[in-house]
Amino acid sequence: MELTPRLQAIADQIPRGGKLADIGTDHGYLPAWLLLSGRIEHAVATDLRKMPLEHAQETAQRFGVADQISFRLCDGLTAVTSEEVDTVVIAGMGGETISSILKAAPWTREGKQLVLQPMTGFAELRKWLQENRYVIHGEQIVREGKRLYSIWTVTGGEMPPLSSAELWAGRQGGGPLRRDYLTLMRGKAEKALCGQRAARTPDQAVVAELEDVLSGLSKMERELDTMVTVGEVFAFLQEIAPFELQESFDNAGFLVGRETARVSKILVALDITEPVIHEAAEQEAQLIVAHHPVIFGGAKSITDQTVTGQILLDLVENHIAAICAHTNLDAVEGGVNDALALRLGLADIGLLKQSGIDGQSRPYGIGRVGRVPEQSLYDFALGVKRLLGANGLRIVDGGKPVRRVAVGGGACAEMMGEALACGCDTFVTSDVKYHSFLEAKALGMNLIDAGHFPTEDVVCPVLQSWLTKQFPQISTSISKRHFEVFSYL
């Protein structure tokens, strides 16, 4: 079974293992294909008209998936409940119709993914979504025959205000067809403006709005010509966290992709995992900036038979580049350890151990020290757990109140001696081995293992802030699918 380019692009946005509602299912090709490919477990297919629903049932029977689809003759989502589905597709309808369907089903804002493909009324639908607490995370442009279709991935949430041009054409993105789509939107706006100006009594407010739309669309087209490359992002990161500062065992740097590839969206994550890559692909991000290197111990082959090989294949096949700033980002000012110290409320922050001075005369080194108001270890540890969002802590009580604290994002327990030499009574780090806990107890040092992910994920908002400030024309977001991999009983 082969889908049309439009339906295939929609199918590619559906998360694996989910339950689908296909609204206005027509011939039922989408749910049938998703079930045949093992992408979903069950589907609800609805249509307002009896004949299209019967055609969908015939499709399901022909491909042997009729028992996995519930067919319902109804208006939009009126016969669908929140518990039945986690992904809703509404495609091939006008924007006004789509908004009316969603208005009647406010539960679609609560933990659901929507895939919308309006045929008309793009600006009106985007405005309605913005005003009714929905977020458009990505827009993909696909060509089918002579037509261009815009496919949106949407969830509940607060969306930043859209300009008049963005209401018409969305934010930058959409892949290689973005320019063609902007040209199409500009043609529609110009036609509408000509119609207004030719009217006997033009609506001057509408004329002014359309002129603003056209100005914004022209700016978007110009920005495509000045789009940032992967190499430019790497050069910027080299300035603030020089890669030559990385430890000898490390493999930080520009690890996957083409230096000349253009970037309109960046996804920031602590690690590059398959869920993170899928998230980036859904957002149409061309670059992932991560902390931990996606290639670390060396790769003798790149196949789908290893975890690393599969991840590298996923990156290449989705045309996603990877830049990883690891121990260099641990050491530099403003990096992992400063972010950790600031998150925990340390004052008078200084280096735990200076490793050297970079080419711009800036001291660098792993770990930070600072002071906090005197408090019990129990109270301080509760704050660490809350502030880092840790699933749990491992603690050694050194028998002292907490006043002077050392922090080391990631595995830094071997720096306990430096922490003691700096007069610290408490050390927050991760991946602590048994003998280090024994040593801390013997030395009278409060030692808190807060987990590798919580002590380093604090740098992701920093990276996002740096990249957004340097490249305001790029959409930079933090992964929402990467989190602590283990829990505590």
Contacts with 250 (C-beta within 8 Å, 6 or more apart), sequence order: 293, 326, 327, 328
CA 439/CA 420 separation, integer angstroms: 12
194-220 pLDDT tens trace: 999 999 898 999 999 999 999 999 988
Contacts with 112 (C-beta within 8 Å, 6 or more apart), sequence order: 82, 85, 86, 87, 88, 155, 156
* In contact, 321 and 280? CB cutoff 8 Å: no
Which residue shows structure tokens 């939009």?
76
pTM (2 decimals)? 0.58
Which pLDDT belongs to residue 221? 85
CA atoms within 13 A on the CB side of 444: 8
Orientation angle between helical segments 274-283 and 307-317, nearest 10 degrees: 10
365-407 pLDDT tens trace: 999 999 999 999 999 999 999 999 999 999 999 999 999 999 9
Which pLDDT belongs to residue 177? 81
103-115 pLDDT tens trace: 999 999 998 999 9
Contacts with 204 (C-beta within 8 Å, 6 or more apart), sequence order: none
Contacts with 83 (C-beta within 8 Å, 6 or more apart), sequence order: none
CA atoms within 13 A on the CB side of 382: 4
CA 171/CA 174 separation, integer angstroms: 9
> Left (φ > 0), alpha (ψ -120 to 50) or beta: where does 391 sit?
alpha
Q: Which tokens go with 423? A: 């007069």
Contacts with 174 (C-beta within 8 Å, 6 or more apart), sequence order: 139, 140, 141, 150, 181, 284
φ/ψ of residue 110, rounded to 5: -100, 90
CA 67/CA 61 separation, integer angstroms: 8
Mean pLDDT, consecutive 10-residue stretches, the chain (489 aa), reads: 89 86 92 90 93 93 94 95 94 96 95 94 95 91 91 91 93 72 93 93 92 92 80 95 94 94 93 95 94 88 91 94 96 95 94 90 93 96 94 96 96 94 97 96 96 96 92 86 87
Element (H, E) at 188: helix 178-198
